[in-house]
């Protein structure tokens, strides 16, 4: 959908806002999943919910704003997405 060549780089929220607009949703309805502090910063700046995925517990991640969720494996997204869906 978008690559690092589209728009300004993170933590600028432009890419997140473009993605939301292309999907026809508000940024607040978006769940941004990232593995780095810049991802979380961009998501927060856009007003999106954020998920930090930490595949390697030994990896040092620079300080970042707290994500809304923190997971270690993509399968952990299932209950997060399921609980976020409109009833």
Q: What is the pLDDT along the chain (87 residues), one digit of tens a residue?
A: 566 676 688 899 999 999 999 999 999 999 999 998 999 999 999 999 999 999 887 777 666 689 999 999 999 999 999 987 665
- At 79 the pLDDT is 95
Question: 14-84 falls under which CATH superfamily?
Answer: HAD superfamily/HAD-like (3.40.50.1000)
Token digits for 1? 């959908």
- At 31 the pLDDT is 95
Q: Which of 58, 37, 56, 40 is nearest to 48 (CA)?
A: 40
Pairing mode, strands 69-71 and 49-53: parallel
- Decide: 85 and 68 in contact? Cβ < 8 Å: no
DSSP 28: G
CA angle 85, 41, 21 (to 5 degrees): 50
Q: What pTM does this model have? A: 0.83
- At 44 the pLDDT is 97
């Amino acid at each position: 959908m978008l690559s690092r060549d589209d728009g300004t780089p993170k933590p600028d929220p432009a890419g997140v806002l473009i993605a939301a607009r292309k999907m026809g949703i508000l940024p607040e309805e978006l769940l941004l999943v990232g593995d780095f502090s810049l991802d979380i910063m961009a998501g927060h700046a856009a007003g999106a919910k954020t998920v930090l995925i930490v595949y390697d517990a030994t990896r040092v991640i620079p300080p970042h704003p707290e994500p809304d969720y923190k997971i270690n494996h993509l399968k952990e997204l299932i209950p997060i997405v399921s609980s976020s869906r409109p009833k």
